[in-house]
Chains A and B, each alone.
Chain A
Amino acid sequence: RKEVEQDPGPFNVPEGATVAFNCTYSNSASQSFFWYRQDCRKEPKLLMSVYSSGNEDGRFTAQLNRASQYISLLIRDSKLSDSATYLCVVTGRGSGNTGKLIFGQGTTLQVKP
């Protein structure tokens, strides 16, 4: 079983739609959680950190449920420019406090006009 699991998609949605991505992680000792965005043939870039209290950045809302080991990302009012692969990422105490990132395989989003 992978340490971080995501539905690879693709998710094909029309502009303006609301779309949600989910992710589960297996290491209960994981301490930090993120969503990264990766455009085709580009490097990953941090989209947002994820906190237990939930956090919002414009059209993007991230949630963490430690009890269920579950992370979510909600995108409202999708734009064409949101088309990308969204990577669920965790770190953990098991990483020896190095901060190394453990990536899910990513969920592909395609927003259509």
Chain B
Amino acid sequence: GAGVSQSPSNKVTEKGKDVELRCDPISGHTALYWYRQSLGQGLEFLIYFQGNSAPDKSGLPSDRFSAERTGGSVSTLTIQRTQQEDSAVYLCASSLLAGGRQETQYFGPGTRLLVL
């Protein structure tokens, strides 16, 4: 079956521009997560969506970062006024449920963002 998909796979942008990264979770998965993996760093949590609940935005590094999840499915991560330190691989993951009984998170292939 189809896994988590992300687009674009690679994005090169100039400092100061805005970028949008898209995630299509596995069909039927109610929980969706965004993570970031910088060069030489571990993965860090950014934001989490679960159904119609308020998202957990506790991992967003600054107010330049925002995310939406429309219709409980597709999610878009937006970075405004990009900076060079935003260069990283942005990974999306989804799981059937969240909290309580831990569900396996399935990761997409990521979007490699390079800010020049």
A103 and B44 in contact (CB under 8 A), knowing A42-B109, A46-B105, A98-B56? yes
Of the candidates B43, B56, B58, B102, the one whose C-beta lies within 8 Å of that of A87 is B43
Q: How large is the interface on A (under 10, 10 to 19, 20 to 34, 35 or more residues)?
A: 20 to 34
Contacts of A44 in B (CB 8 A): 43, 91, 107
Contacts of A105 in B (CB 8 A): 41-42
B87 contacts A by Cβ under 8 Å: no
- The answer to whether B33 touches A100, judged by C-beta atoms less than 8 angstroms apart, is yes
- The answer to whether A97 touches B100, judged by C-beta atoms less than 8 angstroms apart, is yes
Of the candidates A31, A49, A101, A104, the one whose C-beta lies within 8 Å of that of B45 is A101
Contacts of A95 in B (CB 8 A): 56
Q: In the docked arrangement, what's the CA distance between A31 and B98, Å?
A: 13
Interchain nearest-CB distance for B100 vs A (Å): 7
Interchain nearest-CB distance for A73 vs B (Å): 16
A32 contacts B by Cβ under 8 Å: yes
B48 contacts A by Cβ under 8 Å: yes
Contacts of A98 in B (CB 8 A): 31, 48, 50, 56, 98-99
Chain A contact residues, CB within 8 Å of chain B: 2, 4, 31-32, 42-46, 49, 87, 91, 95-106
Q: Can you name 22 A-B pairs with beta carbons within 8 Å? A: A32-B102, A43-B108, A43-B109, A44-B43, A46-B105, A87-B42, A97-B98, A97-B99, A98-B50, A98-B99, A99-B95, A99-B99, A99-B105, A100-B48, A100-B56, A101-B35, A101-B93, A102-B45, A103-B35, A103-B42, A105-B41, A106-B42
Chain B contact residues, CB within 8 Å of chain A: 31, 33, 35, 41-45, 48, 50, 56, 58-59, 91, 93, 95, 98-100, 102-105, 107-110
4 new A-B contacts, CB < 8 A, other than A97-B98, A103-B43, are: A4-B42, A43-B91, A98-B99, A101-B43
